[in-house]
């Protein structure tokens, strides 16, 4: 094997949309890394830039969107230096992606089999017949009953859960090293959600893949991920391993997210939504982007943007509370009363 330590390292990624009303910074200096064979969760509310980050990785942004800077190191090589042709060889072959909407993500005028075969014919030079056989095999792998029949069906003949399985079959057909799953279960029924997550996990182990799981659902993260990047308003505000994050979240935003999540392990009076909404990219706060909604925010928070601070466990937090410059109460409690009672 070669010299890279992590299969993916993203450094200071910046993606903007250049609209008539000016530049909108959708992703603003995002960094994270993913060791081989592990799963990274990228969490955030809608509008936090998590999906744009995912699309940036494969350079699939649509028109006014453009990657402005940063590095995307995949197996040690910067994908941003690749030509469009080289990127095409990566897409669907080394890195695959599945999307949120299985209902609309499959082309309605082609059979399921054709759509799976297509990547095989592009990347593995299989002929039509071989590709079809492999497609049937893939459909079997993702647990679709009577794949010989399904392979010739059109997407409209399949249910939502089935279609997401087809999407997964399509994504995994060329045995990629990495899978980006952009909210793969959001559009599905709860029972189907669990099945799809199980399937992804099972196939990850079987095929030795690394996975990036984009989601707004911390429950999904807890179930599937090894690492988490919490995103807020185009930035990573906390990067941590999953155990530390759930045990002791550090960023007030992460704390807020966890509080708004129903939990079974501790008693909750009621769910507490985070007050306010994600700021629009056109009217970003000057200082910390979470400061308008943060219960602990001080003048420092509102005046200057905090940098990323690395703690003892090598986790990263973008919050003034953990810096030496902190001007507020040194004993500030961001957890609220329940946590104190818990210890």
Partner 1 sequence: MTKFIIRRLIQTIPVLLGVTILVFSLMHLIPGDPAQIIAGESAPERQVEQIRERLGLNDPLHVQYGKFLGNIVTGDLGQSVRSSRPVADEIGTRFWVTVELAVYSTIVSVFLGLIAGIISAVRHYTVLDVVIMIVALFGLSMPNFWLGLMLIQYFSIGNWMPDWMSFMQMRASGWGDSWKQVVLPVITLGTAGAAIIARMTRSSMLEVIGQDYIRTARAKGVKERIVIYRHALKNALIPVVTVVGLEFGALLGGTVLTETIFAINGMGRLTIDAIRTRDFPVVQGTVLVISLLFVFVNLLVDISYRFLNKRIELD
Partner 2 sequence: MSENTVNEPVTAKRVNPRLENYKMIWKRLKKNKAALIGGYLIIFFILVAVFGPYLLSQFGQYGPYQQNLLNKLQGPSAEHWFGTDNFGRDIFTRIIHGMELTLWIGFLSVLIGMIIGVPLGIISGYYGGRIDNIIMRVMDVLLAFPGILLALAIVSVLGGSLQNVIIAVGIFSIPAFARIVRGSTLSVRKLEYIDAVRALGASDFRIIFKHILPNVMSPIIVQATLRIATAVLTASGLSFLGLGAQPPMPEWGAMLSAGRTYMYEAWHVAFFPGAMIVLVVLAFNIFGDGIRDALDPKMKQ
Q: Which residues bind partner 1 (CB under 8 A)?
A: 58, 60, 62, 84, 88-93, 96-97, 99, 101, 104-110, 115, 118-119, 122-123, 154, 156, 167, 170-171
Q: Which does 99 bind (CB under 5 to 8 A by kind): partner 1, partner 2, none?
A: partner 1
Give the residue, chosen from 60, 271, 286, 332, that forms a contact with partner 2 under the rule CB under 8 A.
271
Q: Which does 271 bind (CB under 5 to 8 A by kind): partner 1, partner 2, none?
A: partner 2
In a 3-state reduction of DSSP, which class is residue 84?
A: helix
Q: Write down the least CB distance from residue 275 to partner 2, Å.
A: 9
Pair of tokens at residue 154: 């059109």
Helices and strands, number each (H, E), in the chain: 12, 12
Indicate the residue among 85 and 270 with the shorter CB distance to partner 2. Answer: 270
Indicate the residue among 22 and 307 with the shorter CB distance to partner 1. Answer: 22
Q: Which does 322 bind (CB under 5 to 8 A by kind): partner 1, partner 2, none?
A: none
Give the residue, chosen from 145, 262, 273, 343, that forms a contact with partner 2 under the rule CB under 8 A.
273
Q: Which does 119 bind (CB under 5 to 8 A by kind): partner 2, partner 1, none?
A: partner 1
Q: Which of 44, 71, 53 is nearest to 15 (CA)?
A: 53
Q: Which does 272 bind (CB under 5 to 8 A by kind): partner 2, partner 1, none?
A: partner 2
Q: Does 247 bind partner 2 (CB under 8 A)?
A: no
Neighbours of 277 (CB within 10 A): 10
Q: Which of 149, 176, 155, 152 is nearest to 167 (CA)?
A: 155
Q: Which does 118 bind (CB under 5 to 8 A by kind): partner 2, partner 1, none?
A: partner 1
What is the Cα–Cα distance from 290 to 253, expressed in whole angstroms? 7
Map tokens 């030795």 to a residue.
Answer: 208
Indicate the residue among 19 and 127 with the shorter CB distance to partner 2. Answer: 19
Antiparallel, parallel or unpaired: β 6-19 and 65-74: antiparallel
Antiparallel, parallel or unpaired: β 309-310 and 316-317: antiparallel
Map tokens 């807890």 to a residue.
Answer: 222
What is the Cα–Cα distance from 328 to 209, expressed in whole angstroms? 44
Q: Which does 106 bind (CB under 5 to 8 A by kind): partner 1, partner 2, none?
A: partner 1
Pair of tokens at residue 283: 């009217």
DSSP secondary structure code for residue 155 in this structure: G
Q: Does 272 bind partner 2 (CB under 8 A)?
A: yes
DSSP bridge partners of 155: none
Virtual torsion, Cα 152, 158, 162, 168, nearest 10 deg: 50
Q: Write down the least CB distance from residue 246 to partner 2, Å.
A: 23
Site for partner 2 in 14-33 (CB under 8 A): 20
Q: Write down the least CB distance from residue 229 to partner 2, Å.
A: 27
DSSP secondary structure code for residue 293 in this structure: G
Indicate the residue among 181 and 301 with the shorter CB distance to partner 1. Answer: 181
Residues forming contacts to partner 2 in the complex (CB under 8 A) are: 20, 270-273
């Amino acid at each position: 094997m070669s010299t890279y330590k992590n299969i993916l390292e993203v450094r200071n990624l910046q993606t903007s949309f250049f609209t008539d009303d000016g530049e909108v910074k959708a992703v603003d200096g995002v960094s994270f890394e993913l060791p081989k064979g592990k799963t990274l969760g990228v969490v955030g509310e809608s509008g936090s830039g998590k999906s744009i980050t995912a699309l940036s990785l494969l350079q699939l942004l649509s028109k006014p969107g453009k990657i402005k800077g940063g590095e995307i190191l995949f197996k040690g090589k910067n994908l941003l230096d690749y030509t469009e042709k080289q990127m095409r060889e990566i897409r669907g072959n080394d890195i695959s992606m599945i999307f949120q909407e299985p209902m609309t993500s499959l082309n309605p005028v082609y059979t399921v089999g054709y759509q799976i075969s297509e990547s095989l014919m592009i990347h593995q030079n299989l002929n039509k017949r071989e590709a079809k056989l492999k497609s049937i095999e893939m459909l079997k792998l993702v647990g679709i009953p009577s794949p010989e029949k399904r392979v010739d069906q059109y997407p409209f003949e399949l249910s939502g859960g089935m279609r997401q399985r087809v999407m997964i079959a399509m994504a995994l057909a060329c045995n990629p090293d990495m899978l980006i799953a952009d909210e793969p279960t959001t559009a599905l029924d709860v029972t189907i959600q669990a099945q799809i997550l199980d399937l992804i996990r099972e196939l990850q182990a079987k095929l030795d893949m690394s996975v990036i799981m984009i989601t707004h659902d911390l429950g999904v993260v807890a179930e599937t991920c090894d690492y988490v990047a919490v995103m807020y308003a185009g930035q990573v505000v906390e990067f941590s391993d999953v155990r530390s994050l759930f045990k002791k979240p550090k960023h007030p935003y992460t704390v807020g997210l966890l509080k708004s999540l129903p939990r079974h392990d501790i008693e909750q009076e009621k769910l507490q939504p985070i007050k306010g909404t994600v700021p629009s990219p056109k009217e970003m706060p000057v200082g910390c982007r979470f400061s308008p909604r943060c219960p602990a925010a001080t003048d420092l928070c509102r005046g200057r943007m905090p940098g990323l601070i690395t703690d003892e466990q090598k986790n990263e937090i973008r919050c003034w509370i953990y810096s030496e410059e902190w001007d507020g109460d040194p004993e500030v409690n961001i957890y609220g009363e329940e946590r104190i009672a818990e210890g």
